[in-house]
């Protein structure tokens, strides 16, 4: 029982998601939930994001995703905002659920996601920090 408790504490210490938006960002994040904690290679992950658009409706922009592993760059990707979320984004409270697959990376992983409008002004930013290990999968002959 003690071992399970210590394992649960250890996994929660290294896993978190937080708002890294500028104070003047147009979107104000109300809630961020990331699951599961300490995902393994190829595991399905989910992010719940609730924010309030305090400005005009957003017609398009970009989402830049930066992944670092053990503090070293791993990958960088930019896509159009409206390819991932329903646009236009209204001037109101908005909820998005994102699902994806955890990248094939282990160790101390940091994923920064920055949304910008068409004028390159930051809309929001969130960061996921995880410490993951290689999934122990039995290989059959």
pLDDT per residue over 45-55, tens digit each? 999 999 999 99
- Residue 63 resides in a domain: yes
- Residue 139 resides in a domain: no
What's the pLDDT at 140?
41
Q: Using 50, 70 and 90 to split pLDDT, how confident is the model at 13?
A: very low
Listing from the earlier edge strand, what are the strands of the sheet with 93-101? 27-35, 44-53, 93-101
The mean of the pLDDT values for the chain is 84
pLDDT per residue over 55-95, tens digit each? 999 999 999 999 999 999 989 999 999 999 999 999 999 99
pTM, to two decimals: 0.81
- Residue 36 resides in a domain: yes
What's the pLDDT at 40?
79
Q: Kindly report the CA angle at 101 between 49 and 30, in degrees rounded to 5?
A: 10
Domain encompassing residue 105: 2-132
How many domains would you assign to the chain?
1
- Residue 141 resides in a domain: no
Average of pLDDT values for 31-41?
87
Whichever domain contains 52, its CATH number is 2.60.40.770
- Residue 50 resides in a domain: yes
């Amino acid at each position: 029982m003690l071992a399970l408790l210590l394992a649960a504490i250890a996994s929660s210490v290294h896993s978190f998601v937080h708002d890294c938006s500028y104070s003047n960002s147009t979107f104000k994040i109300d809630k961020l939930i990331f699951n599961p904690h300490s995902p393994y290679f190829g595991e399905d992950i989910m992010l719940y994001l609730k924010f309030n658009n305090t400005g005009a409706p957003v017609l398009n922009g970009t989402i830049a995703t930066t992944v670092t592993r053990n503090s070293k760059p791993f990958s960088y990707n930019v896509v159009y905002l409206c390819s991932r979320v329903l646009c236009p984004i209204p001037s109101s409270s908005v909820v998005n659920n994102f699902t994806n697959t955890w990248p094939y990376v282990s160790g101390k992983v940091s994923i920064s996601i920055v949304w910008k409008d068409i004028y390159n002004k930051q809309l929001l930013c969130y960061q996921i920090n995880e410490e993951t290990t290689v999934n122990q999968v039995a290989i059959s002959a």
